């Protein structure tokens, strides 16, 4: 495309590299003029003030905090398109006050996230990663039978956060013959599964907790010592939400001391740091924050983000708007 043509495209600000841009830049830059802060030698505040008047839309990932300071430097901003499902990196109250619309990943990641949660769950219960280590270590001929895991069917699954991912999790665990109950901010009128307003009560009535809620000030450390006690010695925790939803120190203590039965963890409080105490445990499955990502979901995300930006610039409704609650 000629430089001149590109100049007429709608401007999209990007502060730091975003995966879909790295993978599909050629395609995306045919539709938008990408203003990339990290490619400039200017300090970010200076760079932002240079573009302050022209920038109406910002594309970011969940790894980039968009603070009130940044928002303050962008008086014309009307849209933040975030490639994440979670929104804890955005100053949402500032957006609300300023009338800045927010689009997120919507349901793009829900199926992958749910698939991964079920994969972690079967893995922990049936000891798949641990028995893979056993076989690869050459121990089968030496030690004979590997200890049995535990049956999934009939287990009581408590879902913390029955949003997009949680609903997909529910659909899947039903097919395995598990019973389901859930916790969320509010009871969902259309859902027939038993609702617990208190996570401790949910844990006390569950064999397995699957954590897939958003991280907010209200949900930080929602899985604390009391919840783990209520879940009990045989209980299993699966986390595909955010690391800080769990009091990680307490989780490590409970796992090491056998106060809960096991855990499948895709997320951690201080990624990429993972508590090394977990490395020695066979009742734990660890994964490097990959639950929602597949090539298929990243493609779908790119399509969705482009569609949101196009809708915004042609004054049409966003495809995956974040609604005020």
* CA atoms of 244 and 154, how far apart (whole Å): 30
Cβ closer to a second copy: 119 or 158? 119
Does 294 help bind a second copy (rule: CB under 8 A)? yes
**What string marks each residue from 114 to 153 as x (binds a second copy by CB under 8 A) or -?**
-xx-xxx-xx--xxxx-xxxxxx-x-xx--xxx-xxxxxx
Stretch of residues binding a second copy (CB under 8 A), selected from 42-50, 173-181, 182-190, 222-230:
173-181
Minimal distance in Å, beta carbon 251 to a second copy? 15
271 as an active site residue: the answer is: yes
SS3 202: helix
Q: For residue 35, what are the β-bridge partners? A: 13
Residues 253-272 that bind a second copy (CB under 8 A): 271-272
Catalytic residue, candidates 111, 168, 242, 250: 242
* Helix pair angle (295-313, 19-28), 10° resolution: 60
242 as an active site residue: the answer is: yes
Cβ pair 193, 205 in contact under 8 A: no
Cβ pair 211, 240 in contact under 8 A: yes
Residues 85-114 that bind a second copy (CB under 8 A): 111-112
Cβ closer to a second copy: 219 or 283? 283
* Helix pair angle (110-126, 128-136), 10° resolution: 60
Minimal distance in Å, beta carbon 264 to a second copy? 9
Minimal distance in Å, beta carbon 100 to a second copy? 30
Catalytic residue, candidates 172, 259, 289, 303: 289
* CA atoms of 112 and 128, how far apart (whole Å): 19
Minimal distance in Å, beta carbon 127 to a second copy? 8
Give CB contacts under 8 A, 24+ apart, made by 220-228: 220/244, 220/245, 221/245, 221/246, 221/247, 222/160, 222/246, 223/160, 223/199, 223/247, 223/251, 224/250, 225/250, 225/254, 226/200, 227/199, 227/200, 227/203, 228/203, 228/254, 228/259, 228/260
The residue from 45, 177, 197, 198 that contacts a second copy (CB under 8 A) is 177
DSSP letter, residue 293: -
Stretch of residues binding a second copy (CB under 8 A), selected from 193-201, 232-240, 278-286, 303-311:
278-286
Does 231 help bind a second copy (rule: CB under 8 A)? no
**What string marks each residue from 15 to 54 as x (binds a second copy by CB under 8 A) or -?**
----------------------------------------
Instruction: Please count the residues of this chain forming the interface with a second copy, following the rule CB under 8 A.
Output: 55
Please provide the DSSP assignment of 26-70 as one string.
HHHTTTSEEEEGGG-SS-HHHHHHHTTTT--EEEE-TTS-B-HHH
- 3-state helix vs strand vs coil in the chain, percent to 5: 40, 15, 45
The residue from 197, 234, 288, 316 that contacts a second copy (CB under 8 A) is 288
The residues annotated with a catalytic role in the active site are 242, 271, 289
* Residues near a second copy (CB under 8 A): 111-112, 115-116, 118-120, 122-123, 126-129, 131-136, 138, 140-141, 144-146, 148-154, 171-172, 174-177, 271-274, 276, 279, 285-288, 290, 293-298
């Amino acid at each position: 495309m000629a430089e001149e043509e590109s100049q007429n495209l709608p401007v999209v600000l990007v502060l730091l590299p975003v995966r879909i841009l790295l993978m599909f830049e050629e395609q995306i830059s045919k539709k938008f003029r990408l203003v990339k802060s990290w490619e400039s030698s200017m300090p970010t505040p200076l760079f932002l003030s240079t573009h302050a008047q022209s920038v109406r839309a910002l594309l970011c990932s969940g790894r980039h905090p968009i603070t009130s300071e940044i928002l303050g430097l962008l008086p014309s901003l009307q849209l933040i398109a975030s490639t994440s499902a979670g929104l804890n990196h955005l100053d949402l109250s500032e957006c609300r006050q300023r009338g800045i619309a927010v689009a997120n990943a919507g349901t793009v990641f829900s199926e992958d996230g749910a698939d991964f949660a079920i994969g972690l769950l079967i893995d922990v219960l049936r000891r798949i990663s641990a028995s893979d280590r056993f076989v690869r270590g050459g121990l089968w001929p030496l030690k004979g039978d590997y200890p049995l895991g535990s049956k999934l069917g009939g287990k009581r699954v408590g879902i913390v956060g029955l949003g997009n991912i949680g609903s997909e999790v529910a659909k899947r665990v039903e097919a395995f013959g598990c019973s389901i109950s859930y916790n969320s901010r509010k009871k969902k009128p259309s859902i027939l599964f038993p609702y617990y307003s208190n996570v401790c009560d949910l844990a006390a009535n569950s064999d397995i907790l699957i954590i897939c809620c958003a991280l907010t000030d209200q949900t930080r450390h929602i899985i604390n010592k009391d919840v783990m006690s209520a879940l009990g010695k045989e209980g299993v925790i699966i986390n595909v939400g955010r690391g800080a939803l769990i009091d990680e120190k307490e989780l490590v203590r409970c796992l090491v001391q056998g106060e809960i039965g096991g855990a499948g963890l895709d997320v951690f409080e201080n990624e990429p740091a993972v508590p090394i105490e977990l490395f020695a445990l066979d009742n734990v499955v660890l994964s490097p924050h990959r639950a929602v990502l597949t090539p298929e979901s990243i493609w779908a995300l790119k399509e969705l983000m482009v569609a949101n930006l196009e809708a915004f610039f042609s004054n049409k409704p966003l495809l995956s708007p974040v609604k005020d609650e």
